[in-house]
């Protein structure tokens, strides 16, 4: 097992879906990433920032899940980042209602001394320069994974390109891959993004699954066909947490092991969307993980028979 | 090998895509289905209708591909069905520019006597009552596969339901499955459609692959990630032709063999879109089929390793 550094938001979310709505609940990219990675009992550290209003029991829960939170700064006089959104009926699109940056607007991430030698770094969606400052604090990580979104392509593209040049894997959704590369074909988009620096690109297609691209390799993981998607919030971060958690645990960064990491990320994401927020991840058992891994296997397994 | 009866249009198409445009070229659902099925050297018969303007060399080509065309009526004084369409830049949507039914408006399909004992029937997209009349001419087919589209849901829903009740497999695209069932979740949509009669439903998702549903089973075949999609015309029919051609050849109508049929259909569809119209299907080799079958395998194959 290697150490895993996770940087991203720890936040409050208020979510409305066709199935109901929540008050302020626990959210944030680093929360989902950490909870997903904790399935693999990794030695992970969350680097983030919250305000004095952040419940102590949430901090305790993250610690109990095995996450080091010495790099999770608490600004007692400040307020925690808050996001509120409403999903449309198709669950694939949403409107952001509120974004209160609060303490996040002055976030200067500090990687704990004893995690600077971590092998794996997961950069959750944040300003590219914040992501870059984390990379600069690390000794010599073997795998840096970056998640980002269109907001930074619109507002900080040059900075984003700087950080992309320094990472090993980019995870990005299909529309964002098209925007970043200027290519409609996802094959061409992935190739262009790899030309910017990374050896691998994961293109997330939501209910249509995820594609992993390497040098000459491509792998596809479907999304599990579900009867209901209750709340998609955090599914992409959960995927990223499962992906990096699995790789931290196994310490094998080959394409063939990344395929397993993609499947494990997809399994975790398929559970995440079954309840509001990160709730479903909190009590997820090893047995449930295995059950759905087998479902993914039977979903895609076939024999080649030539006739 | 069992006999295969194919009913559908044999037509002229004029196609415009971002990559270019064609004059009137060979098209029609039964053409694509027949050419795809011919990869499996099945004993197939095309039941359709054309006008006197239909080139004799196309008839000859279909015969050379092993298709019986004694049920392909030629109305010497009539004109062949003509469709013209233009694809949008994303290639997922298109506008129909012209639909000239011509001889198709009086099509009364006649299954040749020596094909009434066929085991497999592929009902390409046509008016549901035309599809029904083919079923009524058959002795006791083991597998009837129906393709349809939203046009008939809007204009002839009761007739469509009658024919759906009599078939074993429905192939349909995702939006049409949602329209027919009133369910957004494709899992629920497939279950509702199976309650209408069929034992299996194939939901085609274009560039996002295809889902095969059975009683308690589900299988997913991705679309091959391609650098270019040149012309999507006929991809769904080609898929259906590969699916039924493979099943006719192997005569095994189990879920596990249908998975192989779905993959073979996907392979053929992935070739179809590489050139205008059915051109790429005309000279497709066994070796090319096998090459891409292996690509599909490596695209989706992974090992379950629990950590």
Closest-CA distance of chain A to residue B48, Å: 27
So what's the pLDDT on residue A1? 79
pLDDT digit string (tens) for B269-300? 999 999 999 999 999 999 999 999 999 999 99
Does the beta-carbon distance from A225 to B228 stay under 8 Å? no
Express each pLDDT in B161-189 by its tens digit: 999 999 999 999 999 999 999 999 999 99
Higher pLDDT, B93 or A39: A39
Taking CA B91 as the corner, what is the angle to CA B85 and CA B92, rounded to the nearest 5 degrees? 95
Q: How confident is the model at residue A307 (pLDDT cuts 50, 70, 90)?
A: low
B229: which chain A residues are within 8 Å (Cβ-Cβ)?
Answer: 185
B109's CB contacts (< 8 A; 6+ apart) are B7, B47, B48, B49, B71, B130, B133, B134, B137
Q: Please, what is the angle between helix B255-272 and helix B235-250, to 10°?
A: 140
Nearest CA in chain A to B224: A220
What is the average pLDDT value for chain B, to the nearest integer?
A: 95
B219 and A286 within 8 Å at the Cβ level: the answer is no
* Cβ A112 vs Cβ A45: under 8 Å: yes
Residues of A in contact with B298 (CB under 8 A): 217, 219
Tokens of A91: 């669950």
- CB atoms < 10 A from the CB of A92, how many? 12
Buried b (16+ CB within 10 A) or exposed e, A196-206: ebbbbbbbbbb
Q: How confident is the model at residue B307 (pLDDT cuts 50, 70, 90)?
A: low
Interface pTM, i.e. ipTM: 0.86
**CA nearest to B41 within chain A:** A307
Residues 6+ apart with CB under 8 A from A275: A230, A231
Handedness of CA B298, B300, B301, B306 (dihedral sign): positive
Contacts of A302 in chain B (CB under 8 A): 219, 221, 259-260, 263, 297
Q: How many Cβ atoms sit within 10 Å of the Cβ of residue B180?
A: 23
- Residues in chain A closer than 8 A to B186 (CB atoms): 225
Cα separation of B76 and B103, whole Å? 10
Q: B36 CB near a chain A CB, below 8 Å?
A: no
Chains A and B form CB pairs within 8 A to the count of: 105
Contact residues, chain B, for A184 at CB < 8 Å: 89-90
* B98: closest CA of chain A, how far (Å): 28
Task: Give the pTM.
Answer: 0.91
Contact B281, B268 (CB under 8 A): yes
How far, CA to CA in Å, does A225 sit from each of A2, A63, A71, A238, B213?
33, 33, 38, 17, 10
Average pLDDT over residues B188-205: 97
Contact B89 A260 (CB under 8 A): no
Q: Residues 252-291, chain B: which have Cβ within 8 Å of A?
A: 259-260, 263, 286, 289-290
Q: Which two tokens stand for residue A155?
A: 């507002």
Q: Is A138 exposed, middle or buried (0-12, 13-18, 19+ CB in 10 A)?
A: middle
The pair of structure tokens assigned to A209 is: 């699954």
The answer to whether the beta carbons of residues A200 and A262 sit under 8 Å apart is no
Mean pLDDT score of chain A: 95
pLDDT value at residue B305: 66
> Inter-chain contact A302–B260, Cβ cutoff 8 Å?
yes
Cα–Cα distance, B38 to B65 (Å, whole number): 6
**In the predicted structure, residue A306 carries a pLDDT above the cut 70:** no
Q: What is the rounded CA–CA span in Å between residue B117 and residue B113? A: 8
Residue of A265, A232, A236, A273 whose CA lies nearest to A248: A265
Q: Name the one residue in this structure whose structure tokens are 């095995």.
A: A66
Percent of chain B at pLDDT > 70 equals 99
Check residue A170 and give its pLDDT. 98
The C-alpha atoms of residue A272 and residue A32 are separated, in whole angstroms, by: 9
Q: What value does the mean pLDDT take over residues B235-262?
A: 97
Question: Measured between CB atoms, does A177 come within 8 Å of chain B?
Answer: no
pLDDT, tens digit, 9 for 90 and up, residues A54-103: 999 999 999 999 999 999 999 999 999 999 999 988 777 899 999 999 99
Rounded to whole angstroms, the Cα distance separating B265 from B261 reads 6
Asked whether the predicted pLDDT for residue A304 surpasses 80, the reply is no
Determine whether the interchain pair A250/B307 forms a contact, defined as Cβ–Cβ distance below 8 Å: yes
The model's confidence at residue A23, banded by pLDDT at 50, 70 and 90, is very high
Q: How far is it, in rounded angstroms, from Cα B256 to Cα B145? A: 17
Is residue A162 pLDDT above 80, yes or no?
yes
Task: DSSP letter for B119, please.
Answer: S
Is B59:B69 a contact under the CB 8 Å cutoff? yes
pLDDT tens column, A209-241: 999 999 989 999 999 999 888 899 999 999 999
Give Cα B85 distance to the centre of its chain. Answer: 18
Distance CA A291, CA A287 (A): 6
């Amino acid at each position: 097992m290697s150490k895993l550094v996770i940087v991203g938001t720890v936040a409050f979310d208020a979510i409305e879906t066709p199935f109901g709505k929540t008050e302020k609940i626990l959210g944030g990219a680093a929360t989902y990433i950490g909870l997903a990675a904790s399935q693999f009992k990794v030695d992970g550290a969350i680097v983030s920032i919250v305000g004095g209003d952040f419940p102590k029991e949430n901090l305790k829960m993250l610690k109990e899940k095995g996450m080091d939170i010495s790099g999770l700064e608490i600004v007692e006089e400040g307020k925690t980042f808050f996001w509120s959104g409403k999903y449309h009926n198709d669950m694939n699109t949403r409107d952001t209602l509120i974004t209160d940056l609060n303490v996040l607007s002055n976030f200067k991430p500090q990687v704990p001394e004893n995690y600077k030698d971590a092998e794996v770094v997961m950069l959750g969606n944040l300003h590219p320069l914040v992501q870059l400052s984390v990379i600069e604090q690390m000794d010599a990580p073997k795998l840096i994974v970056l998640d980002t979104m269109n907001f930074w392509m619109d507002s900080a593209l040059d900075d984003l390109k700087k950080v992309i040049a320094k990472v090993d894997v980019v995870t990005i959704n299909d529309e964002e891959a098209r925007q970043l590369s200027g290519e409609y074909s996802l094959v061409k988009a992935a190739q262009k993004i790899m030309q910017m620096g990374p050896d691998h690109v994961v293109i997330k297609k939501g209910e249509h699954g995820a594609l992993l691209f390497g040098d000459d390799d491509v792998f596809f993981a479907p999304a599990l066909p579900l009867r209901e998607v209750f709340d998609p919030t955090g599914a992409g971060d959960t995927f990223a947490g499962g992906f990096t958690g699995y790789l931290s645990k196994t310490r094998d960064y080959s394409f063939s092991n990344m395929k397993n990491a993609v499947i494990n990320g997809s399994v975790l994401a398929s559970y995440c969307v079954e309840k509001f927020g990160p709730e479903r991840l909190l009590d997820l058992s090893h047995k449930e993980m295995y059950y759905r891994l087998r479902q993914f296997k039977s979903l895609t397994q076939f024999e080649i028979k030539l006739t």
